[in-house]
């Protein structure tokens, strides 16, 4: 006993000396494990507990009943790498260096594993992370990717191998480590190419105003729903493993995704369909089951929140702010607005834009409005019942359908400035930029975006 206490005291001293901006860690037994299940491209409109009456997400919905559902969580970017890099550094893309998809963070900056290890946590990432370089994101890696048929699965791997996660958790419990655990589980679903539909009736699927209703659209949408349900099944398997090994009681479990669905006016855009994400937290004995949070929060706030949960003090020189007090009911909000940015994806999706959103209004500045909006969805050929094949049916319908023609015009042509009232126009289809009564709002939002861009060192690119 005495030797164990001496060892623990020595560890705490070393941690405090190594990281002067982090508070000494409390005893490991008093700190929760943190497990986050991070899916890919799961739009908030496609989750049962967020109001979709058809999609089958029983495990995500159960989490919402057991924990807290966040209604205003937003990605800092509608693209994988920039969103995830911000999530794991607490810095906007302009400050961490990952502006475009599949680009590197600036060497030498600190990230989540660095912060949490300093507080005594073991930090492990499984399967998809989509951030680099490893010198910045130097977590332990758990190889947990399902075998993939690459002839079918273009653009992604199959998904998270939950059997590998189960084996890891079994070993973790058997060894009875003193270290609390931060386990980041990255699933490839429901990123394209979507799984072939098995359980949904395409004709019965609800169509939101961002979709042109054609038979091909419905077939593709059914595939997307199927992929969501399969991802939800893997989530359930992880939850079962945590319970099997007694790790469900002292564990904060989070489900979220990196950005919205891969449909037009969603992913790769700064509309809510591209930025607003599902975010659910289960924390037994701390968060009231079935509770909800309406505070405005960004995924850039995740790293400082994890630091606070681990007993540390978040750095003052990052962009993210901890929302732990909001979660615990000690505060009603942690920020007044969120900043969002999109640049591009290699040679695709090149339509740079910047935006700011408060509780009600969204302002978007398009840096190159002379360009037409094109993405993988409009350009990628050869995927049955998906993308360009679907897009062509929208173009054909627009020849005789005024509503379809109007939507396609909104998708392809973006003016220099856009202003939306997200309360009365949740799908952001009516640009208020020329309405005189909104000039005070426009002036305020313009100034706020200019401040955020200057603070982050943003450039017109």
User: What is the number of other CB atoms lying within 10 angstroms of the CB of residue 104?
Assistant: 16
The active-site residue, picked from 80, 105, 182, 334, is 80
Which residue from 280, 268, 285, 260 is spatially nearest to 32, judged by alpha carbons? 285
334 in active site: no
* SS3 label, residue 341: strand
Q: How far apart are CA 122 and CA 118, in angstroms?
A: 10
* Token output for 213: 């209703």
For residue 133, cis peptide bond before it (omega within 30 degrees of 0): yes
Which residue from 190, 192, 219, 189 is spatially nearest to 204, judged by alpha carbons? 219
What is the DSSP-derived secondary structure letter of residue 24? P
**Beta strand pairing call for 68-70 and 291-293:** parallel
Q: How far apart are the first and last CA of the chain?
A: 60
User: What is the number of other CB atoms lying within 10 angstroms of the CB of residue 149?
Assistant: 7
* Token output for 59: 């495990």
Q: Can you say whether the dihedral through the CA atoms of 394, 396, 397, 400 is positive or negative?
A: positive
Half-sphere exposure of residue 10, counting CA atoms within 13 Å on the CB side? 6
Residues 6+ apart with CB under 8 A from 220: 194, 385, 386, 387, 390
> What is the maximum span of the chain, computed from C-alpha positions, in angstroms?
82
Computed over its alpha carbons, how large is the radius of gyration of the chain? 22
* Token output for 297: 């929060």
What is the DSSP-derived secondary structure letter of residue 347? T
Report the residue count for the chain.
461
Known catalytic residues? Answer: 80
């Amino acid at each position: 006993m005495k030797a164990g206490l001496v060892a623990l005291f020595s560890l705490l001293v070393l941690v405090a000396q190594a990281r002067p901006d982090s508070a000494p860690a409390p005893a490991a037994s008093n700190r929760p494990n943190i497990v986050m299940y991070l899916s890919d491209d799961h739009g908030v409109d496609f989750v049962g507990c967020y109001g979709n009456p058809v999609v089958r997400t029983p495990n995500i919905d159960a989490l919402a009943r057991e924990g807290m559902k966040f209604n205003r969580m937003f990605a800092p970017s509608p693209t994988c790498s920039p969103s995830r890099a911000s999530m794991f550094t607490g810095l906007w893309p302009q400050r961490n260096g990952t502006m475009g998809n599949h680009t590197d963070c600036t060497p030498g900056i600190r990230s989540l594993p660095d912060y949490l290890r300093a507080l005594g946590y073991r930090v492990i990432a499984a399967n998809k992370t989509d951030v680099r370089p490893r010198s910045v994101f130097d977590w332990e890696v758990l190889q947990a990717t399902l075998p993939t048929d690459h002839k079918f699965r273009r653009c992604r791997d199959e998904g998270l191998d939950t059997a590998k996660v189960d084996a890891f958790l079994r070993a973790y419990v058997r060894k009875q480590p003193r270290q609390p655990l931060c386990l980041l589980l990255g699933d490839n679903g429901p990123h394209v190419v979507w799984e072939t539909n098995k359980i949904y009736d395409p004709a019965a699927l609800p169509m939101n105003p961002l979709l042109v209703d054609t038979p091909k659209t419905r077939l593709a949408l059914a595939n997307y729903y199927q992929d969501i349900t399969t991802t939800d099944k893997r989530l359930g398997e992880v939850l079962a493993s945590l319970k099997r090994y007694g790790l469900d009681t002292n564990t904060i479990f989070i489900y979220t995704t990196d950005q919205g669905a891969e449909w037009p006016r969603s992913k790769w855009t700064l509309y809510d369909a591209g930025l607003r994400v599902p975010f659910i937290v289960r924390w037994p004995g701390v968060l009231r089951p079935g509770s909800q949070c309406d505070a405005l929060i960004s995924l850039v706030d995740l790293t400082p929140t994890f630091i606070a949960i681990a007993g540390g003090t978040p750095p003052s020189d990052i962009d993210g702010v901890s929302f732990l007090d909001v979660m615990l009911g000690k505060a009603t909000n942690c920020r007044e607005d969120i900043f969002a940015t999109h640049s591009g994806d290699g040679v695709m999706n090149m339509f740079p834009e910047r935006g700011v959103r408060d509780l009600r209004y969204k302002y978007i500045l398009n840096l190159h409005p002379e360009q037409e909006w094109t993405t993988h969805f409009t350009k990628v050929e050869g995927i049955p019942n998906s993308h360009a094949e679907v897009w062509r049916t929208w173009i054909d319908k627009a020849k005789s359908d005024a509503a379809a023609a109007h939507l396609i015009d909104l998708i392809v042509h973006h003016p220099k400035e856009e202003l939306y009232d997200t309360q009365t126009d949740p799908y952001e289809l009516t640009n208020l930029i020329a309405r005189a009564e909104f000039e005070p709002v426009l002036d305020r939002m313009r100034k706020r975006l200019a401040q955020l861009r200057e603070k982050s060192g943003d450039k017109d690119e």
